[in-house]
Amino acid sequence: MLYPESTKDMLDNKIGVRDGYSAEIILNTIFENSSEGLLVISEKGVIQQVNRALADSLKTSPDNLIGHRLVDVCRHNGLRRLLKILKTGEPEIGKISSVEGRSFIADYLPIIIKQRVRGALAKLTFLSSEQGLPGNGEVTRKKPSFKHKGFNVIYTVDSIIGNSPQMMDLKETLLKVSPRNSNILITGESGTGKELFAQAVHAASLRRSGPFIKINCAAIPDTLLESEFFGYEDGAFTGGKKGGQVGKLELANGGTVFLDEIGDLSFALQAKLLRFIQEKEIQKLGGGEVKVSDVRVVVATNVNLHHMVKYKKFREDLFYRLNVVNLAIPPLRERKEDIKDLVSHFIAKYNKLFGLTVTGVSPQVENIFYKYSWPGNIRELENTIERAFNVLEGNTIRKEHLPYHLINLLNDEPANQDKQEYEQFNEFSIKLSHGRTLADVMSQAEKLVILQTLMESKGNKAKAAQVLGISRPGLYKKLLKYNLT
């Protein structure tokens, strides 16, 4: 590794050169044996030095990297930040990114000699399930000393597949907010992986050694949900367990409680949950003793709580208590660049489960996957891969292994619903000037343009909003206005 002569001389004088061991040898030893990934580039963007930890993460060796331009051998946007450092000379600290499915926190530092940027250094602290969060113990699942259904966490931030800009921003936010104790609201369509994110929050928090308790507010009858939350004393009601039962909010003491489908909670229970969040106090049904439970609350929903508050279906005060931090998971159709990584992940998963050696999908299947809108999101994609494993012959997933609605996708492209509706409105627009007000004409024209833009952007709402020159929330409001959701 190349060090400035002045630096080597200073260190040699400080440390002393004994038995032939110079400061450069000592620094090289530290560099090579660090568990952190380290990479140095010259002012021309050529890799000067890289240690084994970083080379392993790129699934190569240091010899295959040193001497090559960073832009030629590294396709990862995270490491390419070093090229920006060469231009700006400004360090960037604590950036979240990933390489080959492994997330890391990175520091990017300029190497400045005589007030000139002569290179840049990347220091990567990996957040893999083996290494955990720096300085805070293991991120991986930690089984408590007692056993209870719902206590185990099996997902971490590395379980979240996707390197699209939306997902990288989301993972960066997750890692920033997880060590705090603020309540978190996770929103997203069905099948986007909200529970996975909830477990990742717990795994990256300082509460990771405590319990993680899940309660599905939609799966438990409303009459039993209160006892599920707070527990009950012996004889509190007919059919209860002898001796009573401890509530989930008490069991979660010192950990995290995950309330899924929070939008299905009744108004009465919303009030009691609000009081618990404010006071951290629990009183069992039929009991008089009040206990305190230190719990972090993470909730999830696939409905629009803003609308529920507006129409008096959800308490406004509870909504603002829960919505301290919002993790909004984008649907799969808005991050299709992640499909390739997700498919590879699910193929590896089902290869292990089925004992097969499927190598991938055919180009035609890949084309179908990118054209399909995936209303069921990641869950639907996984089910599609699993179905293919049940019927395939050979080691490649082909079109005939897919469900019928996907097989017919390429043949039915011109007949998609958006295009048909657009053509219907286009025919109707000829008559708009007859007996219609200007407001009617403007509304129909706006709806027509939105439909056309959605059709041209293949259902990608983020892209459509950009083309229309409006925000994505603004587009969603117009979709609701014209019943296009």
What torsion do the CA atoms of 200, 343, 338, 123 make, to the nearest 10 degrees? 60
Half-sphere exposure of 157 (CA within 13 A, CB side): 34
Token pair in block for residue 142: 């930690």
Mean pLDDT, to the nearest integer, of 123-136? 53
pLDDT at 131 over 60: no
pLDDT greater at residue 266 or residue 10 = 266
State the Cα–Cα distance between residues 481 and 485, nearest whole angstrom. 9
Q: How far apart are CA 279 and CA 281, in angstroms?
A: 5
Question: Which phi-psi region, left, alpha or beta, contains residue 19 (left: φ > 0; alpha: ψ -120 to 50)?
Answer: left
The pLDDT assigned to 22 comes to 60
* Token pair of 374 as six digits: 């995936």
Residue linked to tokens 């909830």: 198
pLDDT of residue 364: 93
| Among 183, 229, 178, 172, CA closest to 200 | 178
Residue 429 has pLDDT above 70, yes or no: no
Tell me the CA distances in angstroms from 18 to 21, 25, 26, 231, 310, one per residue in order.
6, 11, 11, 69, 75
What is the Rg, in whole angstroms, of the alpha carbon atoms belonging to the chain? 28
> What is the arithmetic mean of pLDDT over 408-420?
55
Q: Pull the structure tokens for residue 91.
A: 């360090």
Residues 252/295, Cβ–Cβ less than 8 Å: yes
Could you give the CA distance from residue 303 to residue 313 in angstroms, rounded to a whole number? Answer: 11
pLDDT of residue 384: 95
Q: Is the pLDDT of residue 255 over 80?
A: yes
Q: What gap in Å lies between CA 42 and CA 424, rounded to an integer? A: 61
Give pLDDT, residue 235: 64
C-alpha span between 457 and 474 (Å, rounded): 17
Percentage of the chain modeled with pLDDT above 90: 36
Can you tell me the mean pLDDT for 71-95?
Answer: 81
Per-residue pLDDT band for 98 (boundaries 50, 70, 90) equals low
Quick check: 125 and 36 in contact, CB under 8 A? yes
CA nearest 422: which of 445, 442, 390?
445
Minimum mean pLDDT range among 97-106, 176-185, 263-272, 465-474: 97-106
pLDDT above 50 (res 136): no
Q: Which amino acid is at 299?
A: V
Confidence band, pLDDT 50/70/90 cuts, at residue 315:
very high
| CA nearest neighbour of 246 among 191, 291, 187, 200 | 291
Residue 250 · residue 294 · CB < 8 Å: no
Query: Taking 60 as the threshold, does the pLDDT of residue 128 lie above it?
Result: no
Q: Chain-centre distance of CA 212, in angstroms? A: 19
The backbone torsions φ and ψ at residue 230, rounded to the nearest 5 degrees and listed phi first, read -105, -10
- Report the chain's mean pLDDT, rounded to a whole number: 80
* pLDDT of 470: 85
* CB of 69 closer than 8 Å to CB of 157: no
Give me the numbers of helices (H) and strands (E) for the chain, helices first please. 20, 16
User: Would you state the pLDDT for residue 71?
Assistant: 83
Strand partners, 141: none
For tokens 């899940």, what's the residue?
214
pLDDT digits (tens, 9 = 90+) for 177-193: 998 889 999 999 999 99
pLDDT digits (tens, 9 = 90+) for 330-382: 999 999 999 999 999 999 999 999 999 999 999 999 999 999 999 999 999 99
Confidence at residue 30, expressed as pLDDT on a 0 to 100 scale: 75
Residue 76: alpha-carbon gap to chain centroid: 18
Straight-line distance from the first to the last Cα atom of the chain, in angstroms, rounded to the nearest whole number = 58
pLDDT for res 480: 74
What is the structure's pLDDT at 430?
40
Give the DSSP letter of residue 245: E
Average pLDDT over residues 61-73: 87
Q: What is the pTM of this model?
A: 0.62
More confidently predicted of 480 and 267? 267
In tens, the pLDDT along 154-179 reads 888 888 998 888 998 899 899 889 98
pLDDT of 41 above 70: yes
The 10s digit of each residue's pLDDT in 209-236 is: 899 999 999 888 887 888 888 888 876 6
Count CA atoms closer than 13 A to 121's CA, side-chain side: 13
> Which segment, 143-157, 212-226, 420-434, 469-483, is predicted with the most confidence on average?
212-226
* pLDDT over 90 (residue 425): no
Q: Mean pLDDT, to the nearest integer, of 453-470?
A: 82
pLDDT exceeds cutoff 80 at 295: yes
In terms of pLDDT, which residue wins out, 281 or 147? Answer: 281
List of domains in the chain: 34-126 (3.30.450.20), 157-328 (3.40.50.300), 333-403 (1.10.8.60), 416-481 (no CATH)
Give ∠ CA 471-201-327 in degrees, rounded to 5: 10
Cα separation, 72 vs 34, whole angstroms: 25
